[in-house]
């Protein structure tokens, strides 16, 4: 299953759909929005 790890390593950094900044690796449940733009208070 090492191929799966390599697959994710080779992925380009994801960028926030809202502000365009790189998204730090984390769970996929947030989609393509960074923490700043995903903040519930905004
Ligand atoms: Zn953002």
Can you give the pTM of this predicted structure?
Answer: 0.47
Flag whether 33 is in a domain.
Answer: yes
Contact 14, 31 (CB under 8 A): no
Query: Any idea which residue has 């923490």 for tokens?
Result: 35
Give residue 33's domain range: 13-42
Is position 7 within any domain? no
If you measure from the C-alpha of residue 28 to the centroid of ligand 1, how many angstroms do you get, rounded to a whole number?
15
Do residues 33 and 17 lie in contact, with contact meaning Cβ atoms separated by under 8 Å? yes
Q: Tally the domains of the chain.
A: 1
38 SS3 class: helix
The rounded Å distance from CA 22 to ligand 1 centre is 8
Structural domain includes residue 6: no
Distance 10 CA to ligand 1 centre (A): 22
Per-residue pLDDT of the chain (42 residues; tens, 9 = 90+): 678 888 767 777 788 889 998 887 665 555 788 888 887 765
């Amino acid at each position: 299953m090492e191929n799966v790890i390599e697959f994710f390593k080779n992925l380009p950094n994801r960028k926030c759909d809202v502000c365009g900044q790189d998204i730090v690796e984390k769970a996929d449940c947030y989609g393509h929005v960074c923490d700043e733009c995903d903040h519930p208070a905004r």
